[in-house]
Structure 1
Amino acid sequence: MKLFDVYPLFDIEPVKAQGCYIWDKNDHKYLDLYGGHAVISIGHTHPHYVERITQQLNQIGFYSNSVQNQLQKDLARKLGEISGLDDYNLFLCNSGAEANENALKLASFATGKKKVISFKKGFHGRTSAAVAVTDNPKIIAPINSKHESVILELNNLDTVEEALKNNDICAVIIEGIQGIGGIIVPDAEFLEGLEQLCNQYNTVLILDEIQSGYGRSGKFFAFQYSKVKPHLVTMAKGMGNGFPIGGVLISNKFEPWYGMLGTTFGGNYLACAAALAVLEVIEKEDLIQNAQKVGSHLLAKAKKMLKGCKVRGYGLMIGLEFDEEIVALRKKLLFEEKIFTGVSGTKTIRILPPLNLSIEEADLFIDKLVKCVQ
């Protein structure tokens, strides 16, 4: 048997990692400015993280959600404290797509409606309802067409209100910062307008913070650059620093009932131990402030040194859009300069490093990038 070949792979096999660096099987050292799709939040193999998971595994690794689990309650409490959303409830699952799937389902339960508004260049996952509200026809199978979505232009409240007037929209889903779409930041006024319209038309506002959350933007959630109070917030990626976990923050407007939502593996002991370790490190090492400080430095230096490049983002969620395709540039950075980056489309380099990236490492990246561009 061989693997089902769905990923284009670089000829690199990582075998060790620490902090913001990884090493391949040939002992080449790479600066990691992509964090495995924005997943590595507190750095690779952080000692506290490793200790937390190891200790938990020595006690109990898994049991079902039919029994009490104090770690789930501890995680909800800590998450509420650090995020500032302590008046929400937490549903735990295993991934970002699953978080969005459950959020959309909850919105439909609550309103009795089934259509969803999402936005162009948005990405919300590869499961059934999540893929149906994603602006990428290539990943939408015929079976997904049973879900009805309306995909609109970002930052245009008029088109949103026009769609809402039919009174058949259960939810509006939007990323705090569009990741795969190219690090596109929605206007704060647009988010605030969405909240007002959703309240007016009995529609649920879902903030997808799967990539932009957990301190990456320099706030705990990217939507906190505005005054908006979403009905639901979805998260994953940086939540577990590599251990699979996702979640939905649910405002008090929703009334639960048994059987409404469920999961076998969501909120298991190891996942909760990992997620608690992440929050403890973020708090102790002030990583949200570091993301803001280092990100601001990186953004300013990129704008100064990369003439003609469109520089976007907040914190350590940065897009560098060039006039020409960047496939060769990214490979040069990876194979010659030993720096991992991501991409959005064919012209934008996506920077999503661990939140403990230093000023020196940010400078090293920009200097190497300028060298490659020249």
Structure 2
Amino acid sequence: MKLFDVYPLFDVNIVKGQGCKVWDDKGVEYLDLYGGHAVISIGHSHPHYIQKVTEQLNKIGFYSNSVINKLQVELAERLGRISGYNDYQLFLINSGAEANENALKLASFTNGRTRVLSAEKAFHGRTSLAVEVTNNPKIIAPINNNGHVTYLPINDLPAWEKELQKGDVCAVILECIQGVGGIKLATKEFAQGLQKLCKEHNTVLICDEIQCGYGRSGKFFAHQWLDIKPDIITVAKGIANGFPMAGVLISPDFKPVYGQLGTTFGGNHLACAAALSVLDVFEQEGLVENARIVGDYLIEQLKAIDSPHIQDIRGRGLMIGIDLDIPQKDIRQPLIYQEHCFTGCAGTNILRLLPPLCLSKAEADLFIEKLKKVLASL
């Protein structure tokens, strides 16, 4: 048997990581400005993370959600305190797509509606409902194309108001900083107006914080820059630093009904131990603040680069897009193979930076040097 070929792969076999660096099987060191799709929040192989996960594995790694798991209770309490959402409820699952699936189901259970508004160029996952609210027809299979979703331009409030006034919208789902969509930021005016409209029309406001949340923007959630409070928040990626885990933060206005939601693996003992260790490191090392400080510095240094190929620099905290006038692969490939630095991409012309939140200014400077070398060589 061989692997089903779904990804174009770089010819690099990563076998070790530490902080913001990884090494391949030949011993070559790489600077990691991508964090495995924004998953590595506290850095690779953090000693506290290793200790806590190992300790938990030596006790019990998994048992059914049919019994009490006090680690889940501790995680909910600490996440509520650190994020500022003490009064919300937490449902734990395994992935970002699953978080969005459950958020949309919960919204529909609540108001009985089926129509959803999503942003143009949005990405919310690849499973049934999550992929339907993702604005990419290439990955929506016929079985998922059920006509539930209307896609609208981000920051065009009148367009969203027109649809919400029809009175049949179940939910609005929004990335306050679009990731795959090219690091486009929702404005405060748009987000606050949208929240007001959702309340007026009994529509559930869901903020997808899977990529832009969990400290990456320099606040715990990206929507907190916009002074809004969504009904439901979805999180994943950085929540457990690489261990598969996700969560749905649910307003106290929603009352649970047994049987509506469920999970086999979600919130298992190992996942909770990993997630709790992440929050430990967030607090001990000030990583949310570091994301803001180093992110601001990196954006400033990027904007100072004198290159005709850089059209725009967008982002907040350590979620940054470099908009190019050439294909991003012309930069990304030499960054990997010649300068030994990983970045991500969005579309054909945008480099996407999503490093671990422990990135230092010295490592940001090192990236700037590497990027300048590649730009100069074109």
Q: What is the TM-score when the length of structure 2 is the normalising length?
A: 0.98
Q: 1:242-278 CA distances to partner (integer Å, 9 max, x unpaired)?
A: 0000000000111111011100000000000000000
Aligned position for 2:372? 370
Aligned position for 2:40? 40
8 Å CA contact 1:175–1:209 kept in 2: the answer is yes
Aligned position for 1:347? 349
Aligned position for 2:108? 108
8 Å CA contact 1:235–1:246 kept in 2: the answer is yes
SS in 1 for 2:212: coil
Aligned position for 1:86? 86
Q: 1:126 to 1:28 in 2, by over 3 A?
A: same
AA aligned to 1:126 is: R
Q: For residues 181 and 226 of structure 1, what CA distance do their matches in structure 2 show? A: 19
Q: For residues 244 and 192 of structure 1, what CA distance do their matches in structure 2 show? A: 32
1:306 offset after TM fit, Å? 4.2
Find out whether 1:252 has 2:255 as its counterpart: no
1:307 offset after TM fit, Å? 4.1
Q: For residues 169 and 54 of structure 1, what CA distance do their matches in structure 2 show? A: 46
Aligned position for 1:25? 25
Aligned position for 2:320? 318
AA aligned to 1:295 is: G
Aligned position for 2:362? 360
8 Å CA contact 2:91–2:249 kept in 1: the answer is yes
AA aligned to 2:139 is: I
Show structure 1 runs of 5+ residues with no match.
none
Map 1:277-356 onto structure 2 (within 5 A): 277-308=277-308, 309=310, 310-356=312-358
1:188 offset after TM fit, Å? 1.2
8 Å CA contact 1:233–1:250 kept in 2: the answer is yes
1:53 offset after TM fit, Å? 0.5
Q: 1:106-154 CA distances to partner (integer Å, 9 max, x unpaired)?
A: 0000010000000001100000000001010000000002251000011
Q: For residues 158 and 24 of structure 1, what CA distance do their matches in structure 2 show? A: 50
Q: For residues 227 and 327 of structure 1, what CA distance do their matches in structure 2 show? A: 36
SS in 1 for 2:80: helix
Q: For residues 264 and 312 of structure 1, what CA distance do their matches in structure 2 show? A: 39
Aligned position for 2:239? 239
Q: For residues 198 and 364 of structure 1, what CA distance do their matches in structure 2 show? A: 45
8 Å CA contact 1:107–1:171 kept in 2: the answer is yes
Q: For residues 22 and 154 of structure 1, what CA distance do their matches in structure 2 show? A: 36
AA aligned to 1:319 is: G
Q: 1:4-57 CA distances to partner (integer Å, 9 max, x unpaired)?
A: 110100110011111101000000000000000000000000000001000000
Aligned position for 2:57? 57
SS in 1 for 2:304: helix
1:292 offset after TM fit, Å? 0.6
Aligned position for 2:198? 198
Map 1:112-123 onto structure 2 (within 5 A): 112-123=112-123
AA aligned to 1:140 is: I
Question: Which runs of 4 or more aligned residues in structure 1 lie more than 2 Å from their structure 2 counterparts after TM superposition?
Answer: 306-309
Q: 1:283-340 CA distances to partner (integer Å, 9 max, x unpaired)?
A: 1000011111110000001001144520000000000001111212111000000000
SS in 2 for 1:121: coil
8 Å CA contact 2:307–2:375 kept in 1: the answer is no
8 Å CA contact 1:33–1:341 kept in 2: the answer is yes
Q: 1:163-208 CA distances to partner (integer Å, 9 max, x unpaired)?
A: 1122111000000210011111110111111110000000000000
Q: For residues 218 and 164 of structure 1, what CA distance do their matches in structure 2 show? A: 31
SS in 2 for 1:305: coil
AA aligned to 1:45 is: S
8 Å CA contact 1:234–1:249 kept in 2: the answer is yes
SS in 1 for 2:58: helix
How many residue pairs match? The answer is: 374
1:227 offset after TM fit, Å? 1.2
Map 1:70-85 onto structure 2 (within 5 A): 70-85=70-85
1:367 offset after TM fit, Å? 1.4
SS in 2 for 1:198: helix
8 Å CA contact 1:42–1:282 kept in 2: the answer is yes
AA aligned to 1:329 is: I
AA aligned to 2:110 is: A
Q: For residues 195 and 164 of structure 1, what CA distance do their matches in structure 2 show? A: 11
AA aligned to 2:279 is: L
Deviates more, 1:102-111 or 1:302-311: 302-311
SS in 2 for 1:74: helix
Map 1:139-150 onto structure 2 (within 5 A): 139-146=139-146, 148-150=148-150
8 Å CA contact 1:176–1:221 kept in 2: the answer is no
Q: For residues 146 and 346 of structure 1, what CA distance do their matches in structure 2 show? A: 28
8 Å CA contact 1:129–1:147 kept in 2: the answer is no
Show structure 2 runs of 5+ residues with no match.
none
